[in-house]
Structure 1
Amino acid sequence: MSNPQLKRAVLSSYLGSMIEFYDFLLYATASALVFNKVFFSSLDPAAGTVASLGTFASGYLARPLGGILFGHFGDRLGRKRMLVITMTVMGLASALIGLLPTYAQVGVLAPILLVALRVLQGIAIGGEWGGAVLMSAEHATSRRGLWASFTNAGAPSGQLLSTVAMTVTAAVAGEQGFLAWGWRVPFLLSVVLLAVGLFVRAKVAETPVFAQASAAEREGVPLVEVFRRHPGNLLRAVGVGFGAFVAQATLTTFLLAYATGAGFPRPTVLNALTISSAGAIAGILLFAALSDRVGRRPVVLGGAVLMALVAFVLFPLVDSGSFVLLTVAVVLGQSIAHPAMFGPLAALYSELFGTRTRYTGASLGYQISATGAGFAPVVFAGLIAGGAGTVAVSAVIAGCCLLTVVAIVLTSETSRTTLAEEPATTAATP
């Protein structure tokens, strides 16, 4: 494995993840701020918000399907081929969202088409993450946590890029213009990003770990092998990631809707999210690098405990009406607590499965846990609409972080293993 090839793999994984999450999280921002007015205009504002966030959840439900589908062929045929397909599907689906007619134009057909394209987005990103992580992790011979985490850093990078695109478009188009046509522009830009991503990805070679695997190791059905050989690791992977995804959706989606409902102007909320997303990129890389030194378990454990505590100060800070305190709230969550939970996951998930099942196992564990992010905004919006206070929302977030604590305590330390080894199948002793 040449050093230039590692650099290409890391750059490809980072850019690919950034582009995919730009498309996927652009939808999150739009569902919190725009889609309730464009695709659910026949409903009252509260019901429209819940319905809009419901379509957001449909993408997360489709992610495990993408993990199974692309994981199967990625474990059988190679990582690189699947990544070209996932990026193409995501880019085209996002561009088509930007061309959709509104509810006022075609009635109920508009939200139906929106959900269909969101499902395609979910399938694409469900297959993208695992392959992108493995392109970096399986090329790396040291500091695997850091190199693999560039894929995870692509998520806040995509969030940052999508938020900036929305902010600039909103400023140029104005309130009425933004609702009429401005929100479409960031989605249509996906075509340009798709071309850049495919160009970079074409220059990366297949991973040496996969290339060195024998033909016999590529036989069988990877999904069946995961359930037969590593069911405990799969369950622990789901538990470890669940709290991180609930926190992510709270900070990047639900808090947007909550803050605008509390009286903050849309640009103000987007500015706060832009700042915290920039901090999240650095946070993910730093905590992942730390996990190479001290282990994955203590870093994820510390992040989960901190996020549980931050959950109870988020909403009081937002309710203060201060932009500074709003920014403090999202920075505490998105730039510090969440990266500690999320940064080491790319390497950790790769280390929990063997080469013959790694794409499928890592993808499935990650994407099932990601359904927490899809449901969280809907559940929280329903709680608020039903009269529950924000303390109840904070308690749910803290409970999900507790699940992460239990799962990571039961997970064996993996940072000192090599990806050529068959992973441990037993739980750690608490």
Structure 2
Amino acid sequence: MRPADDVVDPVQLRRATLASSVGSALEYYDFYIYGLASALIFSPLFFTPLGASGGLIASFATYGVGFAARPFGGLIFGYIGDRFGRKPVLLLTIGLMGTASFAIGLLPTFSQAGLLGAVLLVILRILQGLGAGAEQAGATTLISEVAPVRRRGFFAALPFVGIQVGTLLGAGTFALIALADKNILQGWLWRIPFLAGLLLVVVAVFIRLRLNETPVFKELEKHKNVVKNPIGELWRTSKKNVLIGIGLRMGENGNSSLYSTLLVAFMSAKMGVFPGDKFIGPAGLLIAAGFSAVLVVLFGALSDRFGRVPVYRYGALFQAVIALPAFYLVALGNVALIWLVMSVGIGLGVQAMLGPQCALLPELFGSRHRFTGVAMSRELSAVVAGGLVPIVGAVLLAMTGNSWLVLGIYSLVLALISFVTTFFTPETRGRNLLLLENA
């Protein structure tokens, strides 16, 4: 088969980068507005009878339900992506995510309809999770399969600038509305971020309709190598690489969730006596996202030069080293230190792993089942790391009187899992993605 560089189409590369970026922006816009709403306002809106602590745990449980649905979305849409092409999946996932998010903004609260609102919230969160279960897998697969091989780390990280744009939009929106009067915020203003997400959906669908299918999938069709059962083939040939992908994601996805949701809830509980406390967390995420937009691409480019595994390994080690000191500083209650910790933890620690991961996960798998492999690696880890972190963490914080050690130890363990996993990970820089076999 031809080297990957021979099949690069500059127009397709630009369109793929833009399409993936807008999709990533929407996913993480949804991710952050839902995560921040779970930490700050869903408890009194939908779970009033459970009280403050019980309501927070229930609110984070709905957040976790979305993560639990993601592997099923990964299986469904991964199958479609490997069987019928990458492009159809990118249209389906963006529509499902955006519609579910928009509908959340229309839900009745407990005071308006009792538990009906909570039930519908869970259903819509499941739909949101199904769509998100293949969105990032589609973005990484798409861009990796059209990027030039020597700069694949750089180009594969570019769509993840969309993550930071989505974070900026989501956290920025909540930072602003959190300044409003409590009655206005819980009355109608909380709905605006969810309803506004529809604009991103329209833009994303328009862009993705103009995409071509990837050169890799075209080659599979040309040589009649399209797999009829990608899930079965993945199970037979790729269990080790899926486990590697899960291990790598624990430190990155787990700490991302910890810093963006659980830390915000921790600060709200600790600093609730201060005016504007609900502004501190979203504002910190806003600052961290600004740094992350630059650093994720930098670390992706560094993985082109030094290899995916070394960059990932040192990123995980850095996250582990700062874990305990970082959350001790947060507990001091100084707003500037909180924002510094969030910027360093998310901007350096998380992005040092996410940057090389963008190309690494697609490179781990053969072309016939790549979409499914990436989706399963991402989404199974998302359940364990991203989805359970807020729920388990909220329970532990309640049991320990909001001890900062809970957060520090949690962050440390997640980072060490990824650090150890790098020693079992093959170096994939420069791999030809037309190959049928796994790395």
- TM-score (structure 1 length as normaliser): 0.96
Matched, 1:384 2:397: yes
Counterpart of 1:314 in structure 2: which amino acid?
A
Which residue number corresponds to residue 139 of structure 1? Answer: 146
Q: Is the 8 A contact 2:227 2:369 kept in 1?
A: no
Deviations 1:377-401 (A, max 9, x none): 1111111101263223322321121
Q: Is the 8 A contact 2:328 2:405 kept in 1?
A: no
Pairs aligned (count):
424
Matched, 1:258 2:270: no
Distance in 2 (alpha carbons) for counterparts of 1:413 and 1:2: 26
**Structure 2: segments with no counterpart, 5+ residues:** 1-7
Which residue number corresponds to residue 409 of structure 1? Answer: 423
Which residue number corresponds to residue 375 of structure 1? Answer: 388
| SS class of match (1:101) | coil
Aligned residue runs from structure 1 range 24-423, under 5 A? 24-142=31-149, 143-171=151-179, 173-214=180-221, 216-263=224-271, 265-371=277-383, 372-387=385-400, 389-423=403-437
Counterpart of 2:39 in structure 1: which amino acid?
A
| SS class of match (2:193) | helix
Counterpart of 2:342 in structure 1: which amino acid?
V
RMSD (Å), alpha carbons:
1.4
The alignment-based identity, stated in percent, is 37
Q: Is the 8 A contact 2:327 2:407 kept in 1?
A: no
Distance in 1 (alpha carbons) for counterparts of 2:406 and 2:262: 14
Distance in 2 (alpha carbons) for counterparts of 1:344 and 1:115: 34
Q: Is the 8 A contact 2:256 2:350 kept in 1?
A: yes
Deviation of 1:151 (Å): 3.0
Q: Is the 8 A contact 2:78 2:371 kept in 1?
A: yes
Deviation of 1:100 (Å): 0.2
Which residue number corresponds to residue 428 of structure 1? Answer: none
Q: Is the 8 A contact 2:70 2:131 kept in 1?
A: yes
Counterpart of 1:129 in structure 2: which amino acid?
Q
Counterpart of 1:391 in structure 2: which amino acid?
L
Distance in 1 (alpha carbons) for counterparts of 2:11 and 2:80: 27
Deviation of 1:135 (Å): 1.6
Counterpart of 1:257 in structure 2: which amino acid?
A
Counterpart of 1:396 in structure 2: which amino acid?
Y
Q: Is the 8 A contact 2:12 2:212 kept in 1?
A: yes
Distance in 2 (alpha carbons) for counterparts of 1:58 and 1:153: 26
Q: Is the 8 A contact 2:397 2:406 kept in 1?
A: no
Deviation of 1:52 (Å): 0.6
Deviation of 1:339 (Å): 0.4
Distance in 1 (alpha carbons) for counterparts of 2:284 and 2:94: 29
Deviation of 1:424 (Å): 4.4
Counterpart of 1:329 in structure 2: which amino acid?
V
Q: Is the 8 A contact 1:167 1:267 kept in 2?
A: yes
After superposing on structure 2, the runs of 4+ consecutive aligned residues of structure 1 that deviate more than 6 Å are none
Distance in 1 (alpha carbons) for counterparts of 2:43 and 2:311: 38
Deviation of 1:256 (Å): 0.7
- Structure 1 range deviating more: 380-389 or 5-14: 380-389
Counterpart of 2:365 in structure 1: which amino acid?
F
